[in-house]
């Protein structure tokens, strides 16, 4: 009997892990910064900038942008973009100030426009790179933020 219980628990654990893995797709943003994109039902992924599609169409994207020298450093660029977004009266969440990204040196915010949510993120350790992660479902952006991982 204990062997059957063990096998049942093992199967449930493996099924739970497999189910968890299928709910997000890991994306390496840069050296040591990873994010999980919530992508249940993804039927294809395409492009140099990663775009996710499913049965219902477009899910969202992950994009890495290299800034020209005149717009660097990237953290200042994100701060300037945040100020412009505030002036447009868009709904915003400042993730670097609200403790969502708990790592020193990361600046970011989410802007909610036309049923999408877009995260803009930069690090003071990388002066030229800005990451943009957008979801077609506004509620999914919190799932993305929850998966942000950097080395400790």
Tell me the per-residue pLDDT of 107-122, one tens digit each, with 9 for 90 and over. 889 999 988 999 999 9
114 conformational bin, left if phi > 0, alpha if psi -120 to 50, beta if neither: left
Query: Does the predicted TM-score (pTM) go above 0.85?
Result: no
| Residue found by looking up tokens 């628990």 in the block | 9
Per-residue model confidence (pLDDT) at position 25: 74
- Report residue 13's pLDDT band, with 50, 70 and 90 as the boundaries: very low
Tell me the per-residue pLDDT of 141-150, one tens digit each, with 9 for 90 and over. 888 888 776 5
DSSP letter at 149 equals B
Which carries the bigger pLDDT value, residue 139 or residue 104? Answer: 139
Tell me the per-residue pLDDT of 21-33, one tens digit each, with 9 for 90 and over. 447 777 777 766 7
Residue 38 has pLDDT above 80, yes or no: no
* 118 CB burial (10 A radius; 0-12, 13-18, 19+): buried
Number of DSSP helices (H) and strands (E) in the chain, helices first? 3, 9
Residue 61 has pLDDT above 50, yes or no: yes
Per-residue model confidence (pLDDT) at position 58: 81
Per-residue model confidence (pLDDT) at position 19: 37
Question: Dihedrals φ, ψ of 29, to 5°?
Answer: -80, -50
């Amino acid at each position: 009997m204990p062997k059957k219980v063990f096998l049942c628990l093992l199967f449930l654990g493996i099924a739970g892990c497999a189910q968890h893995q299928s709910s997000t797709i890991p994306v390496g943003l840069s050296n040591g910064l990873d994010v999980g994109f919530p992508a249940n039902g993804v039927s294809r992924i395409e492009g140099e900038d990663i775009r996710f599609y499913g049965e219902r169409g477009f899910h969202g994207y992950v994009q890495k942008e290299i800034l020209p020298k005149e717009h660097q450093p990237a953290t200042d660029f994100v701060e300037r973009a945040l100020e412009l977004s505030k002036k447009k009266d868009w709904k915003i969440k400042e993730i670097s100030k609200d403790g969502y990204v708990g790592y020193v040196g990361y600046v970011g915010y989410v802007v909610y426009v036309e049923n999408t949510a877009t995260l803009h993120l930069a690090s003071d350790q990388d002066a030229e790179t800005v990451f943009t992660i957008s979801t077609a479902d506004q509620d999914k952006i919190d799932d993305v933020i929850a998966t942000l991982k950097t080395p400790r």
